[in-house]
Amino acid sequence: MRLRRCQTLLIEPRERRELDLELLLSAAPRFGSSLEWFALAPHLDKEVPLDPAEFAVLGAVSPTDWIDRDELVGAHAPVLVDGLRAKGLLVADGGEAAADVADRALRATHWRPLSAVAHRHSRWRSIDTAVEARRLDEICGDEWLDHFGAPPPPAIDCAAEDRRVALPRAEVSALDRLLDRRVTCRNFDPARGLGLDEVGAVLWRAFGARTEVEITGVRVLKKGVPSAGGLHPTEAYLLVQRVDGVTPGLYHYHPLHHALELLRELSPIEADEHNQRFVAAQAHFRSAPLLLVMASRFERNFWKYRNHAKAYRATILDAGHLSQTLYLAATELGLAAFITAAVNEGDIEDAFGLDPMQQGVIAVSGFGHRSAQRIDIEFDPLNAVWPPT
């Protein structure tokens, strides 16, 4: 068997604080501490605890060149070599273990190492935001300022007042009125679904391809939003709950055919359960008639921007461009929209069959009809949607 180290590996030392009565009763009372080491590798879903003795093996094995296992165990204890192999940090040539397959796929995608680690290990699975909110409330209650201190100011002054150049304000236009009404919705009408024409209009304006052209042999799409290199790697996956003429289920939006592709039908109960798993139990999105998952097809972007320091950032920017366009398209139709990054990426990947390092979930958006009654707070300081109370 030939082995090599996985392609990307970050080793993080962490201090663990411990209650030590002897130290607490000493002349200089303090908590005890110990140091723990963890490996974070983007081809593995979980961080891996390490023993310092394993460092020497990892440091001696190339992530590029293969070495025979027998040669490796001649220099290092077999238990260390086999332990690292079992942990997935040493991978085998042609191996079929999950770590072997995942490492090969990661290499083929041309990730920047730090971006890959950050993406893989900042994902959630089975998080309930209501539980987390209760924990924060137990710590802070209503005394946020007392606990956290004053926040940074909403705007900063970079020059003295006499060095500012006053700019003329534009005449109020239809775009201004649309932007004023662009208010994130947390109160969807549970009794109203969406018409197919409404869904089609919003998806077309945000995600639809206006045309497809070939530039220097590369097929690219022209959409209503910018994208690095014109590559548009962001895919739209939908959880449909209440859309006229569309069976509840999981779908993919095809930007060239302007069509929903059915991946799996769901019962209304299953769709509701998926909704809350996807958005980490944020109850105010439960009544949204559909959720839209923005998932970046990394190989599309990284094909051009290989191991590039800015490539992952560009995929994040894509989601911002798309969500704002979706907001405006929905608002123009009298609908309301939202976007959230507080999502259970792992549960979404499971539902749609996505590999997080090939097609990674960036955010979840949605739109529908706003309820006539405001239960949850919505940020509308202009009173463009809700009348002053």
pLDDT tens by residue, 244-271? 999 999 999 999 999 999 999 999 999 9
Report residue 31's pLDDT band, with 50, 70 and 90 as the boundaries.
Answer: low
Q: What does the pLDDT average to over 60-70?
A: 96
User: What's the confidence (pLDDT) of residue 33?
Assistant: 75
Report residue 205's pLDDT band, with 50, 70 and 90 as the boundaries.
Answer: very high
Buried b (16+ CB within 10 A) or exposed e, 202-231: bbbbbbbbeeeeeeeeeebbebbbebbbeb
Fold of 2-13+33-109: Outer Surface Protein A; domain 3 (3.90.930)
Instruction: With CA atoms as reference, report the closest residue to 319 among 232, 201, 222.
Output: 232
Report residue 389's pLDDT band, with 50, 70 and 90 as the boundaries.
Answer: confident
**Alpha carbons 367 and 242: distance in angstroms, whole number:** 11
Residue 34, pLDDT > 90, answer no
Whether 262 contacts 248, CB under 8 Å:
no
User: What's the confidence (pLDDT) of residue 32?
Assistant: 63
User: What's the confidence (pLDDT) of residue 280?
Assistant: 97
* Percent of the chain whose pLDDT exceeds 90: 86
Residue with tokens 């079929």: 96
Residue 23, pLDDT > 60, answer no
User: What's the confidence (pLDDT) of residue 258?
Assistant: 98
User: What's the confidence (pLDDT) of residue 335?
Assistant: 98
Let me know if the fold of 2-13+33-109 is the same as that of 174-368. Answer: no
Q: Average model confidence (pLDDT) for the chain? A: 94
Residue with tokens 């449909």: 240
Q: Six-digit token pair at 183?
A: 């208010």
| Pairwise pLDDT comparison (284 vs 143), residue with the higher score | 284
User: What's the confidence (pLDDT) of residue 21?
Assistant: 60
User: What pLDDT, in 10s, does the model give residues 226-241?
Assistant: 999 999 999 999 999 9
Domain ranges of the chain: 2-13+33-109, 174-368
**Alpha carbons 126 and 329: distance in angstroms, whole number:** 32
Q: Six-digit token pair at 186?
A: 């947390």
Whether 32 contacts 18, CB under 8 Å:
yes
- The CATH number of 174-368, from 3.40.50.720, 3.40.50.2300, 1.10.540.10, 3.40.109.10, is 3.40.109.10
User: What's the confidence (pLDDT) of residue 233?
Assistant: 97
* Percent of the chain whose pLDDT exceeds 70: 96
User: What's the confidence (pLDDT) of residue 136?
Assistant: 76
User: What pLDDT, in 10s, does the model give residues 102-143?
Assistant: 999 999 999 999 999 999 999 999 999 988 888 877 777 777
Q: What does the pLDDT average to over 13-40?
A: 74
**Alpha carbons 156 and 4: distance in angstroms, whole number:** 51
Q: What does the pLDDT average to over 307-312?
A: 96
User: What's the confidence (pLDDT) of residue 140?
Assistant: 76
Strands 234-240 and 249-254: antiparallel
Write out the H or E segment, with its range, that includes residue 365.
strand 359-368
Residue 173, pLDDT > 60, answer yes
Report residue 27's pLDDT band, with 50, 70 and 90 as the boundaries.
Answer: low
- Using the Cα atoms of residue 266, residue 270, residue 271 and residue 275 in order, give the sign of their dihedral: negative
Residues in the chain: 389
Residue 94, pLDDT > 80, answer yes
Please give the DSSP secondary-structure letter assigned to residue 358.
Answer: T
Phi-psi region of 20 (alpha: psi -120 to 50; beta: other; left: phi over 0): beta
Report residue 26's pLDDT band, with 50, 70 and 90 as the boundaries.
Answer: low
Residue 148, pLDDT > 90, answer no
Report residue 146's pLDDT band, with 50, 70 and 90 as the boundaries.
Answer: confident
**Alpha carbons 266 and 274: distance in angstroms, whole number:** 9
Whether 360 contacts 302, CB under 8 Å:
no
